[in-house]
Structure 1
Amino acid sequence: MNKGLFLIFTFIFGLTAAQQGPYYQQFAKYKMDIDVDAPNFTYKGNQTITYTNNSPDELKVVYFHLYWNAFKRGSMMDQRVQNQGKNGDGRLQREGVSRLASIPEGEEGAQNIRWIRQNGKDLKFEVQETIMKVVLHTPIKPNSSTTFSMEWDAVIPHQIRRAGRNNREGIDMTMTQWYPKIAEYDYDGWATFDYIGREFHAPFADFDVSIKIDKDYVIGAGGTLENPGEVKGYDAAANIKSDNKNKATWRWTAKNLLDFAWAADRDYTVEQFTVLDGPKVYYVYQKSEKTALWEESKPYVTKFFQLMNAAFGRYVYPSYSFIQGGDGGMEYGMCTMILGEGRSLEGLVGLMVHEGGHSYNQQILAYNESVRPWMDEGFTSYYDDYVMHQLFPPKEPVANPFVGSIKSYVNFTKTGKEEPAVWLADHHDNGSAYSIASYVKGDLFLVQLGYIMGEQNLSLVMKEFYNQWKLKHPTDRDFMHIAQRISGMDLKWFHHYWINTTKTIDYAIKNVEYGTTSTVITLENKGEVPMPIDFSIMTADKKVVNYHIPLNMTHTWKSNDIYGKFATLNYWPWTQKEYTLTVPYNKSQLSALGIDFSQRLADVNPEDNFVDVHHTDVK
């Protein structure tokens, strides 16, 4: 390289490194006053936001999310549903026809911004459906704050997806993503994805929210109720204070949340219990025969928080609310909205466990779900498998809690519809492909890492990741940094194959030759994703002997696992299609042999991974 090119390269490289700088995250403080017209399902809002720019960049514009603008005919969400047809989200359509197109007149969602000011001066703004672009009067310099004030009114939409009026179980108002919410800004710029129906992202914020509503309503929310003695439902001795319009004011506060969500209904019952070494839990629901399973779920929810605190990290907020509302289950700060009429105890608890698990991922670890849905949904699904296996042990023994997820993945790969997990949440072409990529492959990302590095190491990784990145905004790169440091392995290759491609794992036992004192086994990599291989034999007297065949790309080998200790063999280069090993046992001394007795390897054709020595011929 000549000297001039070297200097140019050095300057560019140095500039790039300098631009990265130390980690930072933005912060906001919301002060809201809300006046609800319950009979007409509308409300008026006024809010002040103190916004702190902790980035090294001067901000000349800011962006807000106006999610409810999506709930109308002809919106981008409606267009997306129509374009996808039966391949899309079944909750947004009936027989391939968009439900948004048939919202009754007057029930379309709307967030009408009357004005917005910065430090008292009017600002110009442009509403781009669910995104509002605001041109600032004064740029926000690095490490400084500014104050926005704004007034708006809103129409609570016909309940179709998550938010809205009169859900199918009769909840009057599910108020989620309901206010103009300032967008996240980080090293990748403004997180201004249009709302098409899937995921959310926001900066952490403090909330002080006053909600004025007819006094016969009860509100459930993610936060702390500051005046329980003045409103209905939380204090048996409450002296309900109302104004001359017969409305009561509820005041809620919360610190360090991504959002503030609430729901309101005249028939809500509020119950509460405290988890030892955990949060206070609120149940806000319509108590009836249809919701009788809520009472039975309480000890399971208690154990859920205790298991999570012990295995992954302590829940950091003072309370958590399970609120009947919405259209299925959806997580928010310190609460979740769920359908309450469970058909079985295990089904209801499973929904509560999943949404409660999101409080650790979507809320506390706060990934950008629009960009990396597989981290939020997948890691939460991993928690599901881990916790539900203990809360509801299977009637028949299984090799591990993740066998069901592996089967779901393997079956879907055979449809030819798989899409890479790296795709943006709203940009998957097929709803089932999105679910497999985000929920299942995200789950199996951790399962495969446990197989590669050993479950003990994975447990350390999960705890360290949570402790280091809670109440921040980590990425998969941050996770991989910790995984590689703790395991001592190079794991970039696995991340690339599993997240960025749809290539599959497929190993097989190609040939077995029995000798008088030993047996020679030839293995074959028939797939596209290389992996280290755990190979085991079962002797005639039912003893298991484990061998580990490292993959050369990891450069450090696994020595043990909770599934047993391993004799480590020579590594298998990823370019090599076959591998031969010799075990010191003849046919009469063997009962079975195979790849991955633990059944954690996501092999798409596991049928050729095992040999019953005395009943199987290997060709």
Structure 2
Amino acid sequence: MSKGFLGLFLLLFSIVSAQQNAYYQQSAKYRMDIDVNAEKFTYEGKQTFEYTNNSPDELNVVYFHLYWNAFKPNSMMDQRVAGQGKNGDSRLQKNGISRLASIPKDQEGAQNIHWIKQNGKDLKVEVQETIMKVYLAEPIKSHSSTTFTMEWDAVIPQQIRRSGRNNNEGVDMTMTQWYPKIAEYDYDGWATFDYIGREFHAPFSDFDVTIKINKEYVIGAGGILENPAEVKGYDPAAKIKTDKDKKVSWKWTAKNILDFAWSADRDYTIKSFDVQGGPKVYLVYQKNDKTKAWEEAQPYVTKYFQIMNAHFGKYVYPTYAFIQGGDGGMEYGMCTMILGEAKNIEGLMGLMAHEGAHSWYQQMLATNESMRPWMDEGFTSYAEGYTMYQLFPPADQIPNPFAKTLEAYRNFIKKGIEEPAVWLGDHHDNGSAYTYASYVKGELYLVQLGYIMGEQNLAETLKQYYDQWNLKHPSDRDFLHIAQKVSGMDLKWFQNYWINTTKTIDYGIKDVKYEAKSTTIILVNKGQVPMPIDFSVMTTDKKVVTYQIPLNMTHTWKDKDIYGDFTTLKYWPWTQKEYTLTIPYTKSQLAVLGIDFSQRLADVNMEDNFVDVK
């Protein structure tokens, strides 16, 4: 092969490779007309749906999610809950027995597709539990659009998980995962995960939704209400316009969100206020003795959004609604469904802070949470901890916002049932193991990065992550790329240990020798995860001196941290079990010495991390 031909070949290959790996995302526009039979808890739906294929691939089939098909006896969700027994999600079971098994026939969830057409042509469909495979009449070519129309009816299920009728707090209808929703298609193919009870993934879409319902109902939703003067609850001077069936049409729109959710109840109260810098917030709840905390929420919610906007990136949508309607809390586009009853404002705000943060780490930064729940739940939990620490400063002056999470992690590890965070969300064998893998280890992933690279670098990483990936579908590789670029460090080793394994961190002080003019300390790595070490001493005159012992695998060392100045020592090779350092302090000058005074390191055994000098 000639040099000239070889050069041309390599150039063409690089161009093709770049095109194949270039980022893209699909998009959709929904227009729906919904007619609700509130007495029977059913509705009829019509939908026109424009889908744009921005991928380089030609599509011959598409897939839709039919989530409500899960809410019936012997569904895959029911089988999974029954198979896990007491190890599963406690909300889906009673005394270790699946609650889905006893749903009455007339309260089973159902999404019955009457027909679906593509550009006016009838399509063949195949319903596979909660997934509907649609065979196209004509392929959707790369960078082209097509239009689907469909009609369906649905039975609103007994509320078991997130969606359904008559929840435990008396909310009539929680309408989440309630319409045939197009599955996401990306570099990994179609995201056709069965609905077993956990997470979601979807393309960014625009919504234009008209909901006809009995005039006495009030609706809370994630979106813009286009006709507040014609419906109940939003405008004191509203002139309610009913049709011949005494129904009111609610018109909602939303742009560039992952899904559209709403809830309806006859006893809802609406409270709204503007947060400086955005958004306009709606509180939608039943006003009674058990929801008094909602009356105190405005100043806390206002400060919460201001903290989130400043530290994690600006909330891009015009409104956000906290809606009483869930079985705990679950995030959707521009809203969340949460339990309304709370003992105090701190308890209510904890739920609001978590679900609200999902607008960043699920909606705007829309990772595939079925594949990487730790990026969704974990990053959200980190934002929750960060904001709640500022909203409700602890009386005991805990040195960092995540100390209690670290302690919970250490206690859980002792049970010996941990599962890797890399596992798919619905495929964890133990409900508690899923919680710690996704929520806790995902949160501590960021805490450990702050310890490794310095908090300023972590904050800059989160900012750049938002700037580069908001309203897109990032992966862990995208986040790690930014973290490495900001810090200058190699961090792949850490992600592999922390996310792909259940190996733990365990460092200790093996020996201390006091000499005439100095003190020599021998540290030992008893765990399986190597880490850099911040070793500090407190002198008898209350001065704290910190020494950074870098880990050789990062190759670049931390140069600053909000927890104080430090002196950098020679690196600790990850293959070496012990490390010796000598400091210029005598025993009479020392009060305490130890590993990680900031208490950020996820060391599973703290008993040998500190020495009181006596």
SS at match of 2:107: coil
Indicate yes or no: 2:290 matched with 1:290. yes
How far is the alpha carbon of 1:344 from its aligned partner? 1.7
**Aligned residue type for 1:539:** T
How far is the alpha carbon of 1:19 from its aligned partner? 6.1
Aligned to 2:320: 320
Aligned to 1:335: 335
Deviations 1:429-448 (A, max 9, x none): 00000000000000000000
How far is the alpha carbon of 1:15 from its aligned partner? 9.5
Q: Percent identity?
A: 74
Aligned to 1:348: 348
Indicate yes or no: 2:74 matched with 1:77. no
SS at match of 1:86: helix
**Aligned residue type for 2:500:** N
Aligned to 1:46: 46
Deviations 1:367-396 (A, max 9, x none): 111001001100011011111111111111
SS at match of 2:387: helix
Aligned to 1:460: 460
Aligned to 2:188: 188
Aligned to 2:262: 262
Q: With structure 1 as the length reference, what TM-score do the two structures score? A: 0.97
How far is the alpha carbon of 1:298 from its aligned partner? 1.3
CA distance in structure 2 between the partners assigned to 1:497 and 1:516 by the alignment: 41
Aligned to 2:241: 241
Aligned to 2:428: 428
CA distance in structure 2 between the partners assigned to 1:356 and 1:74 by the alignment: 34
SS at match of 1:390: helix
How far is the alpha carbon of 1:17 from its aligned partner? 3.3
| Matched-pair contact (CA < 8 Å) for 2:219–2:265 | yes
**Aligned residue type for 1:594:** G
**Aligned residue type for 2:256:** N
Aligned to 1:444: 444
Alignment of 1:335-484 (within 5 A): 335-484=335-484
**Aligned residue type for 1:169:** E
Deviations 1:497-535 (A, max 9, x none): 000000000000001111000111100000000000001
How far is the alpha carbon of 1:113 from its aligned partner? 0.4
**Aligned residue type for 1:241:** K
Aligned to 2:215: 215
How far is the alpha carbon of 1:20 from its aligned partner? 3.4
Aligned to 2:31: 31
How far is the alpha carbon of 1:105 from its aligned partner? 2.0
Indicate yes or no: 2:173 matched with 1:173. yes
CA distance in structure 1 between the partners assigned to 2:252 and 2:565 by the alignment: 53
**Aligned residue type for 1:77:** M
| Matched-pair contact (CA < 8 Å) for 2:225–2:253 | yes
How far is the alpha carbon of 1:21 from its aligned partner? 2.6
Aligned to 1:115: 115
Deviations 1:220-275 (A, max 9, x none): 00000001111111111111111101101000000000000000011111110111
How far is the alpha carbon of 1:10 from its aligned partner? 8.2
**Aligned residue type for 1:362:** Q
Question: Which stretches in structure 1 are left out of the alignment for 5+ residues?
Answer: 615-619
Alignment of 1:500-519 (within 5 A): 500-519=500-519
Q: How many residues in Structure 1 have an aligned counterpart in Structure 2?
A: 609
SS at match of 1:216: coil
Aligned to 2:309: 309
How far is the alpha carbon of 1:146 from its aligned partner? 0.3
CA distance in structure 2 between the partners assigned to 1:65 and 1:588 by the alignment: 69
**Aligned residue type for 1:210:** T
**Aligned residue type for 2:261:** A
CA distance in structure 1 between the partners assigned to 2:231 and 2:560 by the alignment: 58
SS at match of 1:561: coil
CA distance in structure 2 between the partners assigned to 1:344 and 1:433 by the alignment: 29
Q: With structure 2 as the length reference, what TM-score do the two structures score? A: 0.98
Indicate yes or no: 2:103 matched with 1:96. no
CA distance in structure 1 between the partners assigned to 2:353 and 2:444 by the alignment: 18
How far is the alpha carbon of 1:18 from its aligned partner? 4.5
How far is the alpha carbon of 1:278 from its aligned partner? 1.6
**Aligned residue type for 2:87:** N
SS at match of 1:565: coil
CA distance in structure 2 between the partners assigned to 1:10 and 1:156 by the alignment: 57
CA distance in structure 2 between the partners assigned to 1:612 and 1:280 by the alignment: 53
CA distance in structure 2 between the partners assigned to 1:19 and 1:164 by the alignment: 44
Alignment of 1:1-16 (within 5 A): none
Which shows bigger deviation, 61-70 or 393-402? 393-402
How far is the alpha carbon of 1:586 from its aligned partner? 1.0
RMSD: 1.6
Cα 1:11–1:434 change in 2 (3 A) is farther
Indicate yes or no: 2:269 matched with 1:276. no
| Matched-pair contact (CA < 8 Å) for 2:20–2:56 | no
Question: Which stretches in structure 2 are left out of the alignment for 5+ residues?
Answer: none
Aligned to 2:144: 144
CA distance in structure 1 between the partners assigned to 2:593 and 2:20 by the alignment: 51
Alignment of 1:126-165 (within 5 A): 126-165=126-165
SS at match of 1:40: coil
CA distance in structure 1 between the partners assigned to 2:264 and 2:498 by the alignment: 42
Cα 1:19–1:415 change in 2 (3 A) is farther
How far is the alpha carbon of 1:28 from its aligned partner? 0.1
Deviations 1:434-463 (A, max 9, x none): 000000000000000000000010000011
| Matched-pair contact (CA < 8 Å) for 2:222–2:262 | yes
CA distance in structure 1 between the partners assigned to 2:488 and 2:501 by the alignment: 24
How far is the alpha carbon of 1:13 from its aligned partner? 8.4
Aligned to 1:617: none
| Matched-pair contact (CA < 8 Å) for 2:522–2:580 | yes
Deviations 1:142-164 (A, max 9, x none): 00000000000000000110000
CA distance in structure 2 between the partners assigned to 1:583 and 1:292 by the alignment: 57
SS at match of 2:351: helix
**Aligned residue type for 1:523:** L
CA distance in structure 2 between the partners assigned to 1:17 and 1:548 by the alignment: 42
Aligned to 2:541: 541
Cα 1:299–1:613 change in 2 (3 A) is same
SS at match of 2:105: coil
How far is the alpha carbon of 1:14 from its aligned partner? 5.9
SS at match of 1:598: coil
Cα 1:503–1:40 change in 2 (3 A) is same
CA distance in structure 2 between the partners assigned to 1:386 and 1:431 by the alignment: 25
Which portions of structure 1, spanning 4 or more consecutive aligned residues, are displaced by more than 4 angstroms? 9-16
